[in-house]
Amino acid sequence: MGKMISYLIIGSLSIPLTVSGCINISKTNELKRTAWIPTNSQLLKQPVDLRNCLDREQHLIARNLAVKGIGIILHPNVFSIRTQAWEQVLEPDNLSSPALAKTEVGISVVPYVTDSSNRKFMLLPKLSTPEQPFNKFVPACHPGLPGLGEIIVKMPYYYPTIIVKVIPEQRDNLIQVLNQQRQTDCQLGELTATPVVPSKTIHNKSLELFLAEIFNKPETLFLQSFAQAQEIILDETQIKFQVAKTDPSVTQPVVVTPGNQLALTNKIQIQLTWPKVLGKLTITGCETPQEANSDYITTCSFQAGHTYSISKPSPSHQPVEIILTWQEELGQLSIPACQIPVANPMGYRSICAFQTGKTYRIVPPFLSDTAFQPIETARRLFVVSLAANFNHDGTGKIIQNSLYNYFKQHQPNHLPFTLLTIGPGRQLSHPVLSSEELPTLMAKNSSDVLKERIKQLQFSATDLNALDDLELVDSYLLNDELPISEVVYITDNMGITSQIPRKQLGVPLAWHQEGIQLIVLTTNDCAIWNERALAHCTTWQDKQQPTLEKFLTGF
């Protein structure tokens, strides 16, 4: 057997996740010249205000966010990736502006803070006019990428820049990978494996001190997406990221497992092709090679975090030339010793020259951020309109009985829930019931406490508006600490007219953009909900209990 070639497969490659609600970003040079392009030094001096938040219209709203973690992501605008000074990016004819070194790539980064549910709130510059500098950074009122807002996305120069230093041969490949990834699916690069817990209060501290909290943590490592980088520096400062390096004295292949342990169960399929002159290579994790004209070809199943080897039938000092192809959904993988991947009918194709006895890493261009909507903590929100119309024909009683039967059968492995009501005076109730309370309520055998709780739903409101009332629910979502995956809304469409003002659709459309599903059960018409509010609506015209219970158990 010949010497071994070891592969290091890193990251959750089989299921690349994208952030929901990605903002459409122009693919052409449409950044407009601004009268004020702040330097990194100016940006880093700005304080971080955590006593307020900024909505999509740049309005300050009082909100004291309890910060549990801090971090940074790559700016989602492709023009934040640059090899020139901002003046030259914005004015291509200005040839006198300096360029970065041939080993450097500049990338704007967006700081964020997280709450106790790990939702990310991006820090936004509080702008007055495009010509005047802002004076602080403030968290967005809405979590995730949609909270950034289209205006801010078009201004990557309003965020600090990190400099990624690589060897000259890797620079063009890095730029191409970043550009293509950002223009196709808007994935965000997370710069730390998990948000960093701040060691001290960061309210009203400068942005530089905020970032230093992240950069200076000994456990903080730049993600494997840029593990080939020689150095990561916050521009115009001496603050540096640690870059994970393999100890050159280690002779055995080093396996680096991804931060997400669930990724270890994922596998990727890659096809390898090589000339017959190399012989029938033996590759762990691969099928027996098959002849294809003048080549051998095999399909390999690689598991994230594992090391794989290739052995040659006879010793040779020549590199093994292999063609790798992989499916499109894996993205443009970054592999040392391989040429820049090109598109082919299967997805991507790259020619690689592997030396024996060395370890190579296969990494995705970006490790996706999934914490904008944490699956493990997302919950269902039930909202019942206490409309007086539901008192007709005993409909209100049917709603009570159906909810009672549904919640009584709720299992611990089901999606957690919270029940709210909207009553007279357009008042949103405090939570009537939550899944966390059920074990205690069901354990009290002396009386049916759960049934008494459901009986609190008294249908007497005559002043509701089914669309406008969702603003009350939206305010609850912003102030609540638990992320919501879907809102189940039981309503009679009270107050909805045939001509709906566009502003009344703002909340359901915003939820749709943020990945919150609106599910409506109405005794009226579903057209408005399905066609204009982008909801999933079911009509409950027969007002029968089996129909309602079937709707609820359908979850």
Cα 212 to chain center, whole Å? 23
DSSP string, 446-473: TTTHHHHHHTT----B-S--TTTTHHHH
Q: What's the token pair of residue 386?
A: 């206490």
Phi, psi (deg, nearest 5) at residue 12:
-85, 90
pTM over 0.85: no
Phi, psi (deg, nearest 5) at residue 538:
-125, 135
Residue 251, pLDDT > 50, answer: no
pLDDT of residue 421: 94
115-124, 347-356, 501-510, range with the lowest pLDDT: 347-356
The strand pairing partners of 491, in sequence order, are: 522
* Beta strands 104-114 and 69-74, pairing class: antiparallel
Angle, CA 279 vertex, CA 253 and CA 10 arms, to 5°: 30
Band (15; pLDDT cuts 50, 70, 90): very low
pLDDT of residue 143: 83
pLDDT of residue 466: 92
268 phi-psi bin (left φ>0, alpha ψ -120 to 50, beta other)? beta
Beta strands per DSSP E along 492-535: 517-522
Band (462; pLDDT cuts 50, 70, 90): very high
Angle, CA 385 vertex, CA 382 and CA 389 arms, to 5°: 145
pLDDT of residue 520: 93
DSSP string, 31-51: PPP-S----HHHHHHSBB--S
All residues at 6 or more sequence positions from 232 whose CB lies less than 8 Å from its CB, including other chains: 162, 163, 164, 165, 222, 226, 240, 241, 243
All residues at 6 or more sequence positions from 318 whose CB lies less than 8 Å from its CB, including other chains: none
Q: What order of strands is seen across the sheet that includes strand 359-362?
A: 282-283, 307-311, 4-9, 359-362
Kindly report the number of other CB atoms within 10 A of residue 390's CB atom: 27
**pLDDT tens-digit map of 311-363:** 776 655 567 778 888 777 666 666 667 776 777 776 778 888 776 656 665 65
243-252, 263-272, 365-374, range with the lowest pLDDT: 365-374
226-230, 365-369, 518-522, range with the lowest pLDDT: 365-369
User: What DSSP element (H or E) covers 427?
Assistant: strand 427-428
Residue 183, pLDDT > 70, answer: no
pLDDT of residue 402: 93
Full set of structural domains in the chain with CATH: 4-10+249-362 (2.60.40), 40-241 (no CATH), 379-553 (3.40.50.410)
Distances (CA, A) of 488 to 81, 484, 494: 41, 11, 16
What is the rounded average pLDDT of the residues 246-259?
Answer: 31
* Beta strands 517-522 and 484-491, pairing class: parallel
**pLDDT tens-digit map of 370-403:** 322 333 457 889 999 999 999 877 899 999 999 9
104-108, 216-220, 411-415, 488-492, range with the lowest pLDDT: 216-220
pLDDT of residue 123: 94
User: What DSSP element (H or E) covers 44?
Assistant: helix 40-45
| DSSP SS3 for 329 | helix
What is the rounded average pLDDT of the residues 545-549?
Answer: 91
Beta strands per DSSP E along 115-194: 120-125, 137-139, 161-165
**pLDDT tens-digit map of 187-209:** 556 777 678 888 777 777 889 88
Angle, CA 443 vertex, CA 438 and CA 444 arms, to 5°: 110
**pLDDT tens-digit map of 421-449:** 999 989 998 889 988 888 777 766 555 88
pLDDT of residue 316: 58
User: What DSSP element (H or E) covers 90?
Assistant: helix 86-90
Kindly report the number of other CB atoms within 10 A of residue 498's CB atom: 7
User: Residue 380 carries which side chain, given as an amino acid letter?
Assistant: R
Q: What's the token pair of residue 408?
A: 């009584």
Residue 469, pLDDT > 70, answer: yes
pLDDT of residue 334: 62
The strand pairing partners of 109, in sequence order, are: 74
Q: What's the token pair of residue 381?
A: 């929100």
Residue scoring higher pLDDT (496 or 515)? 496
21-25, 127-131, 234-238, range with the lowest pLDDT: 21-25
Cα–Cα dist 486/377, whole Å: 12
For the chain, the distance separating the N- and C-terminal CA atoms, rounded to the nearest angstrom, is 56
